[in-house]
Chain A
Amino acid sequence: MLRFFFWRLAQLPLILGIIFCVTFTLAWWIPGNPLENPDRSVPPQIEQAILKQYNLHSPWAFARSYLGQVLGHGDFGPSLQYRDQTVNQIIRQGLPVSVLVGSGALVVALVVGLTVGMISALRPGSWLDLSSLALAVVGVSLPTFVTASVLMVVFAGTLQWFPVQGWGSWRHIILPAVTLGAMPGAYIARLIRLGLVEVMASDFIRTARAKGLSRRRTLVKHAMKVAFLPVLSFLGPAAAATLTGSFVVEKVFNIPGIGEHFVQAVRNKDQFLILGVVLVFSTLLVLLNLAVDLAYAWVDPRIELAG
């Protein structure tokens, strides 16, 4: 187990290296000059001088200085779009915000998903099951901007329970977290229900039932452990995705997270920011996947982790 853990950790730099190369190549070939005001051109020698300030005049100079900065000082460089900010500052300010909203979303997703999934699995085919299925289908298929607008209209506009936009108190987290949690929540509900129905028909559950355990008890105590496994493998990437924020949710609720940069930085060809957020996201993704693998072994002792 320990060996597995360290082996996977040791792979991290290699994975990040590959991700860096791919991202760097793609970011470099985005057309256009990130430092140019799209409405104004400057003569070539001035354009070159501007590019040189950021080592953007050649891919090699850029890669060399960038790697030197990142490996030597943990410095992800300046942002090209927001020139008074470093990428480190942007991530330092934005990541905690996104993590907070994302954690809220995960809690919402798990609580809603597990409850709804279990209720449906208890009585498959009943009206409860069907209506929760309907709810889940709606949850999975509604785009976040619609969910966000509806929640905003109802809870911030009409009822005025929560603020419309901005950041600063716990009340600002609720609506974005619910918006962001709705889709994974619905997905988890379906996964749990499917898993439970299947497991409940298996031999060891029949044995447990035959021994006199109640349906509810078998479900919660025995079936749940097995049915939770697919949720667990879904949770790794889902956590990485929610914790690093969401473009739409951050835009609609005007939250200063980092999710927006995944889209905006590419649009602006802000190479430093693209590389910065992608590397942070990839690290999180690798670490969370590792956590999921470890959790797997813990939940289901049949699974062996080989180094």
Chain B
Amino acid sequence: MQSMKISTVLQWTLFLFLTLSLNGCGDDTPTASENTPRNTSGDTADFVFVAAVPPNTLDPQKMSWNHDIRTAGCLFEPLLRYKLPQMTLEPAAAESWTVSEDQLTYTFQIRSEARWSNGDPLTAQDFITAWQRAMLPDFVADYVQLMFCIRGAEDFFNWRNEQLANFKPSDSAADAWREAQVQFKKMVGLRAPSAHTLVVELARPTPYFLELCAFATFMPNHTPSLKKHISFDTTSGLLKLPASYWTDPSMLVTNGPYALKRYRFKRDLLMEQNPHWWNKASMGNRSILQKIIEMPQTALLTYQNKEADWLPDIPSSLSLAADLVASGRSDVHTAPWAGTYFYTFNCKPRLADGSVNPMADPRVRRALSMGIDRKTLVQKITRMNQPQAKSFIPPNMIPGYESPKDAGVSFDPIAAKKLLAEAGYTDPTKLKGLSILFNTGGGHEPTAQTIKAMWKKHLGVSVYLQSMEVHAFRQQLKQQNYTIARASWIGDYRDPSTFLDKYHSNNGNNDSRWVNPSYDRLLAKAQQQTNPALRMKTLAEAEALLLQEQPIAPIYHYLTLHIFDANRVTGLHPNAWNFRRLEQVQVK
């Protein structure tokens, strides 16, 4: 007890200086007996965790942030879900499915016992409603392109877009919507031959389609309540839902393990067992409370005070995170994350000011990439010991895929100087006007300064640093108004294309404007291949080309940080893709 007190006092004192005392608290064994669930009516629940930000939205079709998708997985059950810790797909709302020979038609059998939180049966129509909403310009959001693998989805989006563009306030929005629904049935490959059968026709073979079916964008909506709450904007013809539809427990009907019980903006979100969920027996807890605490230090103190069981959102870029890992506490866990931190090079022949771009030459890009001592960076600067990146796709992430081993670049100042000389920079000081652009507030500055120093020391190349606020930063990147910039990419689904598509010459996310017809051809070829092994081989060839040309310099692969006492909290299974089954979590 005494030692606990001393360590608490210590925690507090050091907190003042924004470093934390990192000893003593992690190995406390819980004394509460197993059968005393916490009271759910008040400020606690069976399982309590701290979210760093309030939800951006609970509308599964509009989500793109990790913390939102985490909540969606509690409230809504998609057709399939990931079994943990194996990370294999297992039946969820669908009890079975079949795939046609040509891999273009998927037929799902929806569970007859699946129910919404108000007792209504879950039907195939509920999926069609949701998927249609995802591809309507009226509700469209970041991930609509995932839907475009369905036959006619993209055409329907464009059709409705045009219909809305031609809409006049004198027209009837209801009539326009009726017409759109007729078009939808005609154009889009989604059918419900019976209440519990869902037939999906794809535009092209999509080997990862079942993975997509487990993703938030593909979760169902309760059709009757949507019908009740949707209204028309008479001036634009757009469909509208009340903003609070997704967060008002009296309106929101869910089909997942939980129903929304209470949401207090910027305070907390309480979910309680959905009394009608078909698989209640599998649940390890009956209620989850998300406390919303933005300051990581405050969140950590809440955890130390035993007011939370799990801290999933401490950014690994904080020095606090490195301190926690360095402390060796048994309740600090790191897991690889399906993402890569890298520097992107502007590959356009000319820079924004019209001058010739030295980085249009792959040799210069490779040389700069070789001048980064990744080991020192992850050990001394980020201090998180992230896996050093040689490839764009993190290793061992995607079943059946292996990144090419030899195409990447590692630290080699001698070879780098040679490459620079070949490119015409025998005197590296002639390589002028380069700058590292990064956004403020994400902990990118120490890394940028280190790399600047490494380039100076190892290659003799001087660059200067330029930082700006994140939205302005994005704009600079989009317009190729930069030479070198900090970047990162997190995979969305378990297929190499979630990474490799980014560097297709037509992709809007290809900030380096690297254009390589062979690369585009390889991606197109892979799209046609139905043999999974051959397809993976083609994709690996594409990645090899990308790494050979280095429009980006991969630096390290991300880690996620989780704080929980593994003896007390079971079933979390931190994993690279942030797949979660929070209903299976048990807190002793």
Residues B471 and A32 in contact, CB atoms below 8 Å apart = yes
Mark contacts of A48-79 with chain B using CB atoms, 8 A cut-off: 1 yes-contact digit, 0 otherwise: 01101101000000000100000000000011
Mark contacts of A31-50 with chain B using CB atoms, 8 A cut-off: 1 yes-contact digit, 0 otherwise: 11110111111111110011
Name the interface residues of A272-303: CB closer than 8 Å to any CB of B: none
Q: Does B264 sit at the interface, judged by CB under 8 A? A: yes
Q: Does B145 sit at the interface, judged by CB under 8 A? A: yes
| B residues less than 8 Å from A32 (CB atoms) | 470-472, 474-475
**B508 CB, nearest partner CB in chain A, Å:** 4
Residues B142 and A85 in contact, CB atoms below 8 Å apart = no
Residues B59 and A256 in contact, CB atoms below 8 Å apart = no
Knowing A42-B145, A85-B244, the reply to whether A49 touches B137 (Cβ < 8 A) is yes
CA distance A158 to B245 in the complex (A): 43
**B253 CB, nearest partner CB in chain A, Å:** 15
Residues A46 and B244 in contact, CB atoms below 8 Å apart = no
Of A34, A40, A165, A256, the residue contacting B298 (CB under 8 A) is A165
Q: Which of A86-94, A190-198, A204-212, A214-222 contacts B (4 or more CB under 8 A)?
A: A86-94
CA distance A15 to B508 in the complex (A): 43
Q: Does A123 sit at the interface, judged by CB under 8 A? A: no
CA distance A153 to B57 in the complex (A): 34
Residues B57 and A40 in contact, CB atoms below 8 Å apart = no
Residues B471 and A31 in contact, CB atoms below 8 Å apart = yes
Knowing A49-B137, A50-B141, A89-B244, the reply to whether A254 touches B265 (Cβ < 8 A) is no
CA distance A256 to B54 in the complex (A): 11
Residues A39 and B298 in contact, CB atoms below 8 Å apart = no
Of B15, B140, B247, the residue contacting A84 (CB under 8 A) is B247
| B residues less than 8 Å from A36 (CB atoms) | 142, 474
| A residues less than 8 Å from B56 (CB atoms) | 81-83
CA distance A53 to B421 in the complex (A): 53
CA distance A50 to B137 in the complex (A): 7
Q: Which of B6-14, B208-216, B329-337 contacts A (4 or more CB under 8 A)?
A: B6-14
**A95 CB, nearest partner CB in chain B, Å:** 12
Q: Does A122 sit at the interface, judged by CB under 8 A? A: no
Residues A85 and B265 in contact, CB atoms below 8 Å apart = yes
CA distance A33 to B64 in the complex (A): 15
Q: Does A167 sit at the interface, judged by CB under 8 A? A: yes
Q: Does A307 sit at the interface, judged by CB under 8 A? A: no
| B residues less than 8 Å from A30 (CB atoms) | 471
Residues B267 and A256 in contact, CB atoms below 8 Å apart = yes
| B residues less than 8 Å from A149 (CB atoms) | 15-16
How many A-B contacts if CB must be within 8 Å? 144
| B residues less than 8 Å from A168 (CB atoms) | 43
Name the interface residues of B251-292: CB closer than 8 Å to any CB of A: 264-267, 291-292
CA distance A158 to B8 in the complex (A): 8
| A residues less than 8 Å from B508 (CB atoms) | 41-44
| B residues less than 8 Å from A89 (CB atoms) | 243-244, 265
Mark contacts of B464-495 with chain A using CB atoms, 8 A cut-off: 1 yes-contact digit, 0 otherwise: 00000111111100100000000011100000
Q: Does B447 sit at the interface, judged by CB under 8 A? A: no
Name the interface residues of A123-173: CB closer than 8 Å to any CB of B: 149-150, 152-153, 157-158, 164-168
Q: Does B238 sit at the interface, judged by CB under 8 A? A: yes
| B residues less than 8 Å from A158 (CB atoms) | 9, 12
Name which residue of chain B comes closest to A45, CB basis: B161
CA distance A90 to B266 in the complex (A): 9
Residues B137 and A37 in contact, CB atoms below 8 Å apart = no
Residues B247 and A165 in contact, CB atoms below 8 Å apart = no
Name the interface residues of B100-142: CB closer than 8 Å to any CB of A: 137-142
Residues A38 and B474 in contact, CB atoms below 8 Å apart = yes
Of B15, B141, B236, B489, the residue contacting A52 (CB under 8 A) is B236
Of B243, B266, B490, which is in contact with the most chain A CB atoms at under 10 Å from its CB?
A: B266
Q: Does A267 sit at the interface, judged by CB under 8 A? A: yes
**B262 CB, nearest partner CB in chain A, Å:** 13
Residues A164 and B64 in contact, CB atoms below 8 Å apart = no
Knowing A31-B472, A84-B243, the reply to whether A157 touches B11 (Cβ < 8 A) is yes
**B164 CB, nearest partner CB in chain A, Å:** 8
Of A40, A52, A82, A94, the residue contacting B142 (CB under 8 A) is A40
CA distance A164 to B305 in the complex (A): 9
Of A32, A84, A256, A269, which is in contact with the most chain B CB atoms at under 10 Å from its CB?
A: A84
Residues B265 and A167 in contact, CB atoms below 8 Å apart = no
| A residues less than 8 Å from B488 (CB atoms) | 39
| B residues less than 8 Å from A33 (CB atoms) | 471, 474
| B residues less than 8 Å from A44 (CB atoms) | 508
Q: Does A225 sit at the interface, judged by CB under 8 A? A: no
Residues A83 and B158 in contact, CB atoms below 8 Å apart = no
B interface size (C-beta, 8 A): 64
| A residues less than 8 Å from B55 (CB atoms) | 82, 84
Name which residue of chain B comes closest to A93, CB basis: B265
| A residues less than 8 Å from B235 (CB atoms) | 65
Name the interface residues of B44-71: CB closer than 8 Å to any CB of A: 54-59, 62, 64-65
CA distance A90 to B471 in the complex (A): 23
Q: Does B311 sit at the interface, judged by CB under 8 A? A: no
| A residues less than 8 Å from B54 (CB atoms) | 82
Of A38, A40, A53, the residue contacting B238 (CB under 8 A) is A53
CA distance A27 to B167 in the complex (A): 29
**B469 CB, nearest partner CB in chain A, Å:** 7
Residues B293 and A254 in contact, CB atoms below 8 Å apart = yes
Residues A50 and B140 in contact, CB atoms below 8 Å apart = yes
**B570 CB, nearest partner CB in chain A, Å:** 27
CA distance A31 to B57 in the complex (A): 23
| A residues less than 8 Å from B141 (CB atoms) | 50
Q: Does B301 sit at the interface, judged by CB under 8 A? A: yes
**B313 CB, nearest partner CB in chain A, Å:** 14
**B222 CB, nearest partner CB in chain A, Å:** 16
CA distance A167 to B532 in the complex (A): 54
**B552 CB, nearest partner CB in chain A, Å:** 14
CA distance A147 to B96 in the complex (A): 60
| A residues less than 8 Å from B472 (CB atoms) | 31-32
Q: Does B295 sit at the interface, judged by CB under 8 A? A: yes
CA distance A152 to B298 in the complex (A): 10
Q: Does B246 sit at the interface, judged by CB under 8 A? A: yes
CA distance A40 to B164 in the complex (A): 25
Knowing A82-B265, A83-B59, the reply to whether A52 touches B478 (Cβ < 8 A) is no
CA distance A256 to B294 in the complex (A): 11
CA distance A46 to B139 in the complex (A): 11
Q: Does A252 sit at the interface, judged by CB under 8 A? A: yes
CA distance A212 to B16 in the complex (A): 53
Q: Does A8 sit at the interface, judged by CB under 8 A? A: no
| A residues less than 8 Å from B137 (CB atoms) | 49, 52-53
Q: Does B302 sit at the interface, judged by CB under 8 A? A: yes
Residues B15 and A85 in contact, CB atoms below 8 Å apart = no
Residues B161 and A49 in contact, CB atoms below 8 Å apart = yes
Name which residue of chain B comes closest to A44, CB basis: B508
CA distance A36 to B478 in the complex (A): 12
Residues B267 and A167 in contact, CB atoms below 8 Å apart = yes
**A158 CB, nearest partner CB in chain B, Å:** 6
CA distance A253 to B302 in the complex (A): 11
CA distance A79 to B246 in the complex (A): 14
5 A-B pairs with least C-beta separation = A32-B471, A157-B12, A49-B137, A256-B266, A41-B508
Given contacts A85-B243, A157-B8, 19 further A-B contacts (CB under 8 A): A30-B471, A32-B472, A33-B474, A34-B471, A38-B474, A42-B142, A46-B144, A49-B140, A50-B140, A52-B238, A79-B243, A82-B57, A84-B244, A86-B243, A93-B264, A166-B291, A254-B294, A256-B265, A256-B266
10 A–B pairs (Cβ distance < 8 Å), ordered by A: A31-B472, A39-B490, A40-B509, A49-B157, A78-B243, A83-B57, A84-B245, A153-B13, A157-B8, A165-B298
